[in-house]
Structure 1
Amino acid sequence: MIQEYREQFNREFSQEKYAKLKSILKEKSGTEPAFRISESPVFLSHALKIQLTEAAESIIDQIKAIAPEILRKAVPERYNVPNDTQHPHFFTIDFGICADEKGTVVPRLIELQAFPSLYTFQKVYEDAFCETYPFLSEIRNDMPEELYIHHLKKVILGDESPEHVILLEIFPEQQKTAIDFLCTENMLGIKTVCLTQIKKQGRKLFYDNNGKQTEIRRIYNRVIFDELEHIPDLKAGFDFREDLDVQWVTHPNWFFKISKFILPLLKHPLVPKSYFLHEFPDYEDLGNFVLKPLFSFAGSGVDLHPAAAVVEAIKDKENYILQRKVQYEPAFKDINGDYSKAEIRLLYVWHEDEERPVLLNNLARMTKADMVNVSFNKKDAIWIGSSHAFFIKE
């Protein structure tokens, strides 16, 4: 993929530069990443960028056309949170870099979600790549840093001052994405607060802001709501399902609405066919599909080779989908002549006063395993882990 930039990067790569890249990330954030940082970025053509964005725009059009009562069916009653919003504040779409039947490299939709990803870290990561390899600056994101920060401030802070906005997580210092929390604090001036540290008075929420009990008016939510019930003896400061005087960014209900739940409803040449498990037709071959639970995170519960007996034994078939398999293309050559596969996540923000989301950035994940998740990689592999995609200018 994009031979000129790949060859130059591989020529310039060294373990010293890799160490420098990670050192810059630690310096700018204040901590080391708890996930693996890939040695290499991903280089993609302008034509592939057009394919990605056009497919994403079609998906957005289709989602906007889905009736609200259909989307509401995605939210389990026990997780329903009051005061829902018309659309989510964050919207991400994952595409695998694949090959079609002719061997042409094409993107294929893998998943999508209305949940914030590494929006601030990814900006710092791109900057670190460009600082370590200056030639990358000529193909970096066109969006000026001031505009990038403006979009994040507008969507997360709204009209509130930073002291009345928090990033909410469960035991944030234990999360793999803690580096993004620190980058967010640095960029936006808000604090990261654990769910157990919130105080509730009537319908209002408060947190300890340097010794002062401060009202929370907006919550930049990083809690995966359905994970709460898996933490024994969790002493949360409030219940998400209460009617509270607070604005959610993004509202927890959208985690369920924009998820695997809507994959069977989408139609596009770059969207692999999906079915709810209880609606899987007899004429399809199970061997061509991947089994995914509707409500899971980071690849949990995915079965790449579902057996008929396993599928038949599932009681709540309405909570699973079968998605047609895609073939990731080993397209990204490392310094040893081996090839990695990659997934590209498009990162959108969706302002409350706008009809469509804005594409802000991307993140990439590289692998040499069957699944694009660092947990499935060999420990001595290179060109794997969290990365960033640079798109060649037209």
Structure 2
Amino acid sequence: MDPSARAIFNQHFTTEKYGTFLTCLNDGLRNPVLFRVAETPVFLTDDFRDKLVAAGEGIIATILQPGFKELTERSIPPKWRLPNENTHPHFIALDFGVCKDADGSIVPKLIELQGFPSLYGFQVHLGNTYREAFDIDTDKTIYFNGLDQESYLDLLRKTILGPYQPYEVVLMDVNAPEQKTSVDFYITQRYLGIPVISLSDLQQQGDQLFYEANGDKKRIKRIYNRLIFDEIDSDDHTFDKVVDIRQPLDVEWITHPNWFYRISKFTMPYLHGDYIPKTQFLHEITQIPADLENYVLKPLFSFAGQGVIIDVKPDDIKNITDPENWILQQKVNYEPVIQAPDGGVKAEIRLLYLWPDGDAKPTLAINLARLSRGKMIGVRYNKDFDWVGGTIAFMQR
């Protein structure tokens, strides 16, 4: 992390400035941000930024390889497999922990990946608010590949809208207004003009979908999908009450729900390189590692860290009845590289890619970062701490 930028930021930081920052962040929003936003952004050195980019390129190369779909067929649970899958994901998110290697260098290590959208709208607003509230130099950017806000939003628009008008594309989640990330939904609506709807708002006629706006019924050509099936998996009667979106429908998905499973923890065992922790499918392990304390056990079909076993014991492995649905992953030890006023804080950087139809490959566009003092990254592990939560990384243009 950039020590000079950190020193300048910390020297001028006050809790009053942070309070003003939060006020500005929430100003004009439909509802206040429902998750904790950290006191500080992350400042990347050129060296670490380049390592992140290189790590991402290696992973993208695996996703682009012929036969990737065949390789990941087993990743999609039969009950959640949807028809009419397209040829590529429109969104890819890669999560890297900030770590230290054997030589003492600060390096990224892959934690997870997902073929699913993240906070593509909110991060623009967040970066702008950090810059204004804390007077961050204009020579630092939150974007990659030479993008600025205008060209980034053009790429986002191209990805989500494609050839359609904003009223023909809907952002959909289970109960959109109640989601913790709903702030991103409505900022995206502000940028792109698309309606935000809940699953229950869908109306079906034949194989076509509609929603109502000001008393008029509007045909849906594309769904910008923010619905994670894991969130409704426990309710066997969900589609008794609403349109069953798993049936063949005359609608495009941005991105198709199958990609959520294809690009996920399931992909980890197929990735290799300096920035990839050793990962194996549990059912393919012939001998349990002697240094089991250096591994974590993860269920393939869960999200937000649910079900992860950090301190693995041999009995934990023996007690698993479906080992084909678990991975054993080499533990990633975060290095507390962010200097808060009272000590070091751990960080995770998420690279966010956009892949509009017609492009040969995805474009690394923007980022998201999270700070932690707990055992894991995430809200439940960081209660009652400060200098933790969601943030963004700035780097040299």
TM-score bracket, normalised by the shorter chain, equals: over 0.9
Aligned to 2:43: 43
Shift of 1:276: 0.4
Instruction: Answer yes or no: is 1:249 the counterpart of 2:254.
Output: yes
Secondary structure of the residue aligned to 1:62 is: helix
**Which residue type is aligned with residue 353 of structure 1?**
G
2:152 paired residue number:
148
SS of 1:364 mapped into structure 2: strand
**SS in structure 2 of the partner of residue 6 of structure 1:** helix
- Kindly indicate whether residue 177 of structure 2 is the aligned counterpart of residue 176 of structure 1: no
Root-mean-square deviation (Å): 1.4
1:205 aligns with 2:209: yes
Task: Give the alignment partner of residue 258 of structure 1, picking from 248, 257, 263.
Answer: 263
Q: What TM-score do you get using the length of structure 2 for normalisation? A: 0.95
On the 8 A contact 1:200/1:237 being kept in 2, the answer is no
Asked if structure 1 preserves the Cα contact closer than 8 Å seen for 2:117 and 2:226, the reply is yes
- Counterpart secondary structure, 1:119: coil
Segments ≥4 residues shifted beyond 6 Å? none
What is the SS of the residue equivalent to 1:207? Answer: strand
Q: How many aligned residue pairs are there?
A: 391
Residue by residue over 1:239-275, the C-alpha shift from the partner in whole angstroms, topping out at 9 and shown as x without a partner, is 1221000000000000000001110011111101100
Partner SS, residue 29 of structure 1: coil
Q: SS of the counterpart of 2:136? A: helix
Task: Select between 237-246 and 35-44 the one with higher mean Cα deviation.
Answer: 237-246
CA contact (8 A) 2:371 2:377 kept: yes
Summarize the Cα distance change of 1:139–1:182 in structure 2 as closer, same or farther, 3 Å threshold. Answer: same
Identity score, percent: 41
Report the more deviating stretch, 190-199 or 22-31.
22-31
**Counterpart residue number, 1:311:** 317
CA deviation map 1:317-367 (0-9, x unaligned): 11110110111001111122x110000000001111112101110000000
1:279 corresponds to which residue?
Answer: 284
Kept after mapping to 2: 8 A contact 1:197/1:236: no
Separation of aligned partners in 1, 2:14 and 2:138: 19
For the residue of structure 2 that corresponds to 1:359, the secondary structure is strand
Shift of 1:106: 0.7
Contact 1:204–1:216 under 8 Å retained in 2 = yes
TM-aligned CA distance change 1:233 to 1:104, over 3 Å: same
Partner residue in 1 for 2:225 = 221
Q: Aligned runs of 1:1-394 on 2, under 5 Å?
A: 1-65=1-65, 67=67, 68-141=69-142, 142-231=146-235, 233-234=237-238, 236-282=241-287, 284-285=289-290, 286-336=292-342, 338-379=343-384, 381-393=385-397
Q: Residues of 2 paired with 1:331 and 1:289: CA distance? A: 22
Per the TM alignment, residue 283 of structure 1 is displaced from its structure 2 partner at its CA by 5.9
Is the CA contact 1:28–1:124 (under 8 Å) kept in the aligned structure 2? no
Deviation of residue 66 (structure 1)? 5.2
Instruction: Please state how far the C-alpha of 1:145 moved relative to its aligned partner.
Output: 1.6
Output one character per residue of 1:286-311: Cα deviation in whole Å (capped at 9) or x when no partner: 22210011111111111111211121
For the residue of structure 1 that corresponds to 2:394, the secondary structure is: strand
Structure 2: distance between partners of 1:160 and 1:375: 40
SS at match of 2:328: strand
Q: How far apart, CA to CA, are the structure 2 residues paired with 1:11 and 1:17?
A: 12
Question: 2:160, 2:356 within 8 Å by CA — same for their partners in 1?
Answer: no
Query: Is contact 2:296–2:328 with CA below 8 Å preserved after alignment?
Result: yes
In the TM superposition, residue 144 of structure 1 has moved relative to its aligned partner by 2.0
CA distance in 2, matches of 1:316, 1:278: 8
Please report the TM-score for the alignment, with normalisation by the length of structure 1.
0.96
Q: Can you give the 5+ residue segments of structure 1 that lack an aligned partner in the other structure?
A: none
Q: Distance in 2 between matches of 1:245 and 1:324?
A: 43
Tell me, in whole angstroms, the C-alpha distance in 2 between the residues paired with 1:174 and 1:80: 26
Larger deviation, residues 126-135 vs 26-35:
26-35
Give the partner amino acid of 1:229.
Answer: D
Deviation of 1:236 after TM superposition, in Å, equals 4.7
Q: Secondary structure at the match of 1:136?
A: coil
Q: Does 243-252 or 9-18 show the bigger shift?
A: 9-18
Partners of 1:298 and 1:108 in 2: how far apart?
A: 18
Greater displacement, 44-53 / 275-284: 275-284
Extract unaligned runs of 5+ from structure 2: none
